[in-house]
A and B are shown apart, each in its own frame.
Chain A
Amino acid sequence: MQAFDFVAPTSVDEAISALAAGGATARPLSGGTDLIAQLQEGRLALDTVVDLKRIPELMAISVSGDGMTLGASASCHSINNYQAIRDAYPALIDSTHLIGGTQIQGRASLGGNLCNSSPAADSIPNLIAHSVTCHIAGPNGRRSVAVEDFCTAPGRNVLENGEFLVALEFPTPPANFGAAYLRFIPRNEMDIAVVGAGASVVLSDDKSTIQSGRVSIGAVAPTPLFVQEAGDALAGQPVSEETLAKAADLAKAAARPISDMRGTIAQRTHLSGVLTQRALRIAIDRARGTQTVDELGRLNGHG
């Protein structure tokens, strides 16, 4: 790995200046779990690395009646240990527990996972299921974009030169809301999703009907996909396996995967349906507050 300048600003404005000064060979650093690996493997060469973890706004977590604002660089570990998040957004922990082991979670952030913009990122389908808004800062001021519009291609996103992600904003979950993220990997740990699925539902007061739903699948297209038609197909439908199967079929139809060493087109297309249906089941269980077998809890040990 080549030597580079390390800059550690303590405000958003300082970070904007540092990135502007560094130009095209400067990049922001959050957890570094992707960036440092890319530098070490020679896939990326930089002259300047701008550490965002000393900027209070990027590390802040605030949960209130208006929803939640997560600093883009807040670590997965701090999220996992934040009781108000576990209470209000339990499904988010599905992703923050999956990204790396405990030590990695001490550095890794949801903002970093999003900005790395891997089609297989374990947080993005979950963020889409949660209707998250991304707040961005840059030399031309601040702007916001819906998370489903953030990624544009593998490793690419809407961030312009000099821009960086400041925060993720989560709306307050409506009553009878439930969500889940589920991925398929050949092992039980240390793997990249062959397919991932994020899902959320809002049930009627008697919890027998799905009022609205959102479905997102990962690793089956150049970007994580928001499958709006699958969510639309859930709206107004009774909670039933038939309803879920229909949404799963739509997710399957939306998938346009490639074959690579981690999975084949046929396998990924098939798994898009399987995982969508399973993620929806868990989301519904959570919306109902029923303590049925929770596959994620069992796998990830966060109950």
Chain B
Amino acid sequence: MAGTKQNGTAKLAANGQNGYKVIGTRPVRPDGVDKVTGRAVYAADVQMTGLLHGFVLRSPHAHAHIRSIDTSKAEALPGVRAVVTADDLPEAEDKVEDLGEGAINLKYLSDNVLASEKVLYHGHAVAAVAAVNPHIAEEAAGLIEVDYELLPPVMTVDDALADDAPILLGTLRTDSMGEVGTEPSNLASVFSHQRGDLDAGFAGAHLVVDRTFRTETVHQGYIEPHAATALHSADGQITIWTSTQGSFAVRGQVCEILKVPVSRLKVVPTEIGGGFGGKINVYVEPVAVILSEKAGHEPVKVVMSRADVLAATGPTSGSNIRVKIGVDTDGKISAALAELYYEAGAYPGSPVGAAANVSLAPYAIDNLQVDGYDIVVNRPRSAAYRAPGGTNVAFAVESVVDELAEKLSMDPAEFRILNGAKENDRRPDGLQYARIGHIETVEAIRDSEHYQTPLEGKYRGRGIASGYWNNWGGQSSATAVLNPDGTVNLNEASTDIGGTRASIAMQLAEAMDIEYEQVMARVVDTDTVSYNDVTGGSRTTFATGLAAYNLGQQLLQEMKNRLADQWEVEAGDVSYEDGTFSAGGESLPFVKAAGLVQREEPLMASSTVHPQDFGPGFSTQCIDIEVDPDTGKITVLRYTIAQDVGKAIHPSYVEGQMQGGVAQGIGWAINEEYIYDDEGHLLNASLLDYRMPTALDLPMIETIMVEVPHPAHPYGVRGVGEVNIVPPAGAVANAVYQATGVRMDKLPISPANLLEAMWAQEAEAELVPGDD
């Protein structure tokens, strides 16, 4: 049966309310038992006969030229089967390619996998060894002699933009709204979104707040380290087993880096222990392939340590942000300016573009300007992290919004409702909103039992904040096979991170009016279905779910066609209701029909989709905290998140996404940061000193699912995975102000930073005459 392509702009029935049989229930996920019993196979669990073990040698310096690499001693060590450097990679072209997860310069991509001329961060890969066991591989790596010429490290926005700043990338020229500079620069690009009359808006303002903020580099913190096993066969066929958010993204990158035909490379995705955007870029995958080839076509597994993960993958950008907002006497925003300086890490590509869209998105503003700057520094190349760029800028904007509301003596929720964006309002870059649920999330918080319960006690404070994320559609492919016993095998290629096998299967079951248990969803390799974008952008339940809906429609239609032939009626006369087909006095339940229609010919369906009309998500959140005034330590007392989820297909997994985003956001707000010494060495590449929250650091996170169905999805689905991480840092900062009177202008609000800010405030208070 021919596949159909569903164009997302086509009108789909906007149901999304009631009367569902499967949607909105909470069935068990197909991968659940294997995961809780430890049987699930993750990337590092892959085993095969003759497996060799790889080890990657990494740069001890933040910034240096590589004069030479001598691998002879490593090669001579017994047990070593291959040693590779960037010389073993094909010459990379200095050109930009779109590989499905954003455009990237192939030279940068290749150099990040194995450094060629320069190392650009502490932990940058420079060589790799394959040996008969991991200990020999590690020992051999220690025998590789790299001659470095040290260069001064460039660690921050200010370092990078200084007049005499050392240049990281000799070929990089500033792209300023399409105009390319002539001199090498660490400023990769500049853009500006403008509308209305900014000067007039500020001139007419009753009150203006203008603040600058700093946020630090943070990591996604997925629990499973990166790992890949590759087999490069003697005939040139390549297989990679890895844990990734996108098997096709791995295929695309590896084929470009190694210059191999797409048909020769198969990527087999294992189970994945988290990604959050950080498992899209390839790191060890191409290295494992070239080690396998050089080692005589034996399989090679390369597993990153936790320290490698922190030092060389992820993270997301640190940033300097200025936000200036003016309001009129009624509290309406009259003008807003945001300047965003984001650290891209070693190669261009910070999420500053997405951050600009997030910045003022929750508010209806006629006069605004948002400027973005993408800047390279000697830190790991930044990767996507859950609503990339959003948390940084929302911390800044929501702090200023809170200060404005306070100065206006307005309730911060009412301020957000008064200024809230709704249908037909515009995002900072001009994109017009369809039906959105931002104001509904603010109202849900305002009316919640949490917000309505007064918070009492010294050094306690409550903060609220809102946030936006655009979500994504992307391309999805899936096939469904109808079995003669009435069960369905659903093959899809979207990595299942948050229970999407279940949420996609549920949509197929709903579409076919069968039980969830009749559908078995599996995540398949890149040879089994056609192209499928990454699990990212909160797209999977939306877009791959749409493909599953189409599969259900197709299978039902073909069943009707075949039954019509059988019953000698017109296909249009066959109806299907409550699991039974009927026409002209004949009727047959689904399970029986499944066997009958396949006596002559098997039945399968395929669907590819690329929906353009994906609904954005909004969230408003409320936190209560207590600050220990003697130590600066924050205890989170209570947390409630309201989020517009469109329609919750599997409510438990939607709640899980909401709670997970908040947990990460609180970690980012309170303790997480990359700490470097003056020479650019990363000091805290361990989970001991890179402080993500533990179970003891968070209360139960209460969830309010606000369902404003997305009009362009048959079940009203909106992406739910990302927007939840956008507001927490702003909410924490606003609560800290209520608790202590200190407005924090930097993240993290760690005990050390908060204590220092409280001391500075005390010192300032003592200087005010007459103030006791």
Instruction: Give residues in A with beta carbon < 8 Å to B.
Output: 1-3, 42, 184, 186-192, 194, 261-264, 266-267, 270-271, 274
For residue B633, CB closer than 8 A to chain A, the reply is yes
- B688–A190 contact, CB under 8 A? yes
Q: Which residue of A lies closest to B139 (CB)?
A: A2
For residue B135, CB closer than 8 A to chain A, the reply is yes
- B697–A187 contact, CB under 8 A? yes
- In the complex, which of the residues A186, A262, A266, A271 has the most CB atoms of chain B within 10 Å of its own CB atom? A186
> Contacting A187 at CB < 8 Å: which of B139, B693, B756?
B693
Please, how many angstroms separate the alpha-carbon atoms of A267 and B139 in the complex?
41
Q: Which residue of B lies closest to A40 (CB)?
A: B305
13 more CB-based (< 8 A) A-B contacts, given A186-B670, A192-B689: A1-B138, A2-B139, A3-B135, A184-B633, A187-B696, A188-B696, A189-B694, A189-B696, A190-B687, A192-B688, A194-B751, A261-B683, A267-B755
- B630–A274 contact, CB under 8 A? yes
Whether A263 touches B671, Cβ cut-off 8 Å, given contacts A186-B691, A187-B693, is no
Q: Which residue of B lies closest to A274 (CB)?
A: B630
Whether A188 touches B756, Cβ cut-off 8 Å, given contacts A2-B135, A261-B684, A274-B630, is no
Scoring B residues 652 to 678 as 1 if CB is less than 8 Å from chain A, else 0, what string do you get? 000000000000000000110001000
- B696–A191 contact, CB under 8 A? no
Instruction: Give residues in B with beta carbon < 8 Å to A.
Output: 135, 138-139, 142, 630-631, 633, 670-671, 675, 683-684, 687-689, 691, 693-694, 696-697, 750-752, 755-756, 759
- B697–A274 contact, CB under 8 A? no
Shortest Cβ gap from A227 to chain B (Å): 19
In the assembled complex, which residues on chain A have CB atoms less than 8 Å from the CB atom of B135?
Answer: 1-3
Whether A267 touches B688, Cβ cut-off 8 Å, given contacts A1-B135, A187-B671, A188-B697, is no
> Contacting B631 at CB < 8 Å: which of A42, A266, A271?
A271
Please, how many angstroms separate the alpha-carbon atoms of A274 and B751 in the complex?
14
> Contacting A270 at CB < 8 Å: which of B670, B683, B691, B755?
B755
Please, how many angstroms separate the alpha-carbon atoms of A190 and B750 in the complex?
16
In the assembled complex, which residues on chain B have CB atoms less than 8 Å from the CB atom of A261?
Answer: 675, 683-684, 689
- B696–A267 contact, CB under 8 A? no
Please, how many angstroms separate the alpha-carbon atoms of A2 and B752 in the complex?
39
Please, how many angstroms separate the alpha-carbon atoms of A194 and B752 in the complex?
10
- A186–B694 contact, CB under 8 A? no
- B750–A266 contact, CB under 8 A? no
Please, how many angstroms separate the alpha-carbon atoms of A238 and B295 in the complex?
77
In the assembled complex, which residues on chain A have CB atoms less than 8 Å from the CB atom of B752?
Answer: 186, 263-264, 267
In the assembled complex, which residues on chain B have CB atoms less than 8 Å from the CB atom of A192?
Answer: 688-689
Whether A186 touches B684, Cβ cut-off 8 Å, given contacts A264-B752, A267-B752, is no
- B688–A266 contact, CB under 8 A? no
Please, how many angstroms separate the alpha-carbon atoms of A270 and B694 in the complex?
26
- A184–B691 contact, CB under 8 A? no
> Contacting B756 at CB < 8 Å: which of A184, A191, A266?
A266
- B139–A262 contact, CB under 8 A? no
- A186–B751 contact, CB under 8 A? yes
Whether A184 touches B631, Cβ cut-off 8 Å, given contacts A190-B688, A266-B756, is yes
Please, how many angstroms separate the alpha-carbon atoms of A263 and B750 in the complex?
11
Whether A191 touches B691, Cβ cut-off 8 Å, given contacts A1-B135, A184-B631, is yes
Please, how many angstroms separate the alpha-carbon atoms of A190 and B697 in the complex?
11
- B631–A190 contact, CB under 8 A? no
Shortest Cβ gap from A47 to chain B (Å): 15
In the assembled complex, which residues on chain A have CB atoms less than 8 Å from the CB atom of B633?
Answer: 184, 186
Please, how many angstroms separate the alpha-carbon atoms of A270 and B752 in the complex?
11
Please, how many angstroms separate the alpha-carbon atoms of A270 and B697 in the complex?
23
- B139–A191 contact, CB under 8 A? no
In the assembled complex, which residues on chain B have CB atoms less than 8 Å from the CB atom of A271?
Answer: 631
Q: Which residue of B lies closest to A1 (CB)?
A: B135
In the assembled complex, which residues on chain A have CB atoms less than 8 Å from the CB atom of B142?
Answer: 42
Shortest Cβ gap from A252 to chain B (Å): 12
Q: List 18 A-B contacts (CB under 8 A).
A: A1-B135, A1-B138, A3-B135, A42-B142, A186-B633, A186-B670, A186-B750, A186-B751, A187-B694, A188-B694, A192-B689, A194-B751, A261-B675, A261-B684, A261-B689, A263-B752, A266-B756, A267-B751
